[in-house]
Amino acid sequence: MRLASGVFDDKEELFWVSGHKSTRVSQVANVLLPGSGPWTMNRVLEGKDPNMHQLRQWEQWAESTGFEDPKQPDRLLAPVSQPGKIICVGLNYRSHAAESQMDIPQFPILFNKFQNAVVGSGATINPPLGAMHMDYEAELVIVMGRQGFNIPEDGALDYVLGYCNGNDLSARDLQFRTSQWMLGKTSDGFGPMGPYLVTRDEVSNPDQLEIVCQRNGVEVQHSNTSDMIFSCSYLVSYISRFMTLMPGDVIFTGTPEGVVLGYPEGQRDWLHSGDQIVVSIEGLGALTTVIGDAKLERS
Ligand code: ZN
């Protein structure tokens, strides 16, 4: 299934994506389980019915009956619009560690973003004033589907709900202002995800996916998740040794080579207002983000 979250008439709703067609879960539920809607990803993650199996059955019913939802989302949200944890892995591709002139890490380098960073595909990001060195990072995002602590590496992917594109937007000047990276990683809108998540049954091997990033239509990153130092199952297992992973938690798994930071000083063309970044991982659609002007207003 391709599951997405979007705003319809000022309300968040969960919907299926099939080709260019979107079908709200609530519209199908109105027929099959009257009085149960509206449905959001959070409500599904909290374990309220319908579960994934039921969602799949409902989608099949909608397809077999030719069910049409007349409405398109006014805008997209991240598939999980309010993840409890946003855990990011730094320097997880051999090639990116090399271009950053850093050693291959012995342990996953973990940092985090907060919910203020979460936006969906199509969002325009207004960086804070003072973020002068804006950079993109195309990343595979793991979305957790089950709670787990000390999850064994073998079978760790059974805890995963699905996968989506992510862009670990980074302000390098803020990131390296101090030894902790957080400041440059979690300004408002710095964690775009989407356009939808693909459930794990449709992703046969997350450690073998092509990953591409385009800047204004020009390819700037092109790699494969097979270049990751720590695999998806290892990351889920490793992180869960130290904290309980919950449904809806997301893991940004690191970026391959080709970021602006990877160029020699003097040749770094940082992102500027008007730039469009598109992250597309094999089978996961395309996540579009536009860089806007610096955010000046008080709110
Ligand atoms: Zn990253």
Q: Is the same domain home to 38 and 159?
A: no
Please report whether residue 268 resides in a domain. yes
Residue 38 CA to ligand 1 centre (angstroms): 34
At 97 the pLDDT is: 81
Please report whether residue 127 resides in a domain. yes
Residue 2 CA to ligand 1 centre (angstroms): 24
Task: Copy the structure tokens of residue 173.
Answer: 């000047």
Q: Is the same domain home to 211 and 249?
A: yes
Please report whether residue 297 resides in a domain. no
Q: Is the same domain home to 170 and 276?
A: yes
Residue 22 CA to ligand 1 centre (angstroms): 30
Q: Is the same domain home to 97 and 66?
A: no
Q: Answer whether 0.75 is exceeded by the pTM.
A: yes
Residue 255 CA to ligand 1 centre (angstroms): 5
Q: Is the same domain home to 103 and 67?
A: no
Residue 54 CA to ligand 1 centre (angstroms): 34
Residue 62 CA to ligand 1 centre (angstroms): 38
At 299 the pLDDT is: 77
Q: Is the same domain home to 71 and 198?
A: no
Residue 284 CA to ligand 1 centre (angstroms): 18
Domain boundary among 56, 77, 98: 77
Q: Is the same domain home to 214 and 109?
A: yes
Please report whether residue 299 resides in a domain. no
Q: Is the same domain home to 219 and 274?
A: yes
Residue 90 CA to ligand 1 centre (angstroms): 5
Residue 53 CA to ligand 1 centre (angstroms): 32
Question: SS3 for 183?
Answer: helix
DSSP state of 263: S
Domain boundary among 77, 99, 121: 77
Strands (E), 54-137: 75-77, 86-90, 109-113, 118-119, 123-125, 134-135
Domain that holds residue 24: 2-77
Please report whether residue 256 resides in a domain. yes
At 260 the pLDDT is: 96
Please report whether residue 298 resides in a domain. no
Distance CA 273, CA 291 (A): 5
Quickly list H helices, 100-246.
172-175, 232-240
Q: What is the domain count for the chain?
A: 2
Residue 296 burial (10 A CB sphere; 0-12, 13-18, 19+): exposed
Domain boundary among 48, 77, 106: 77
Q: Is the same domain home to 229 and 170?
A: yes
pLDDT tens string for the chain (299 positions)? Answer: 999 999 999 999 999 999 889 999 999 999 998 988 789 999 999 886 668 889 999 999 999 999 999 999 999 999 999 999 999 999 999 988 887 788 888 999 999 999 999 999 999 999 999 899 999 999 999 999 999 999 999 999 999 999 999 999 999 999 999 999 999 999 999 999 999 999 999 999 999 999 999 999 999 999 999 999 999 999 999 999 999 999 999 999 999 999 999 999 999 999 999 999 999 999 999 999 999 999 887 87
Q: Is the same domain home to 251 and 128?
A: yes
Q: Is the same domain home to 215 and 247?
A: yes
Q: Is the same domain home to 102 and 146?
A: yes
- CATH code at 187? 3.90.850.10
Residue 111 CA to ligand 1 centre (angstroms): 9
Residue 168 CA to ligand 1 centre (angstroms): 5
